Amino acid sequence: MNFLATYIMRGRMQAMIVASSLAFLSLMFPPVSVVSSATVALVTLRRGAFEGLYVLAFSSVVAGLLGFLAIGNYQFALLYAMVLWLPVWSISIVLREGRHLSLAVEIAILIGVLGVIGFYLYMPEPATMWKAVLTQMVPADAPVEAT
């Protein structure tokens, strides 16, 4: 991973390429989103809030364009990147400026709790929504694999 961090820190363009391409790739392989978010965090921690915001904004635009060209829907890729990157960016600023890991973790927990509360205010029955989504992803007649 050191080679990837070195590549990201070479410049804005390299960081934007890694962040946006991994954000798009994470639509198919969700664990890749961790590395995509880490790109924004690394730039913010090493170079500051403005540089991190610059990478975040332009990477979001590029991820949206990639989503539009590849799957015909830019909103999902753009929203996915913003939901992942904005909290990471803000927590990175707190960690860079305050240098208190405990405060950064507390703010991350607060953002998570606010996100859950906001989702429940937006969607009073989230189980119904997830059931509909999962039914589309896995049809009812799909074979069940034994593990």
How far CA 14 is from CA of 55, 95, 122, 146, in Å, comes to 10, 23, 37, 43
Q: Quick one: pLDDT at residue 146?
A: 62
Q: Quick one: pLDDT at residue 92?
A: 95
Q: Quick one: pLDDT at residue 49?
A: 92
Q: Quick one: pLDDT at residue 147?
A: 61
Residue ranges of the chain with per-residue pLDDT less than 70: 139-140, 142-147
Q: Quick one: pLDDT at residue 123?
A: 87
Q: Quick one: pLDDT at residue 7?
A: 92
Q: Quick one: pLDDT at residue 142?
A: 63
Decide if 76 contacts 67 (C-beta within 8 A).
yes
**pTM for the structure as a whole:** 0.80
What is the C-alpha separation between 88 and 41, in angstroms, rounded? 6
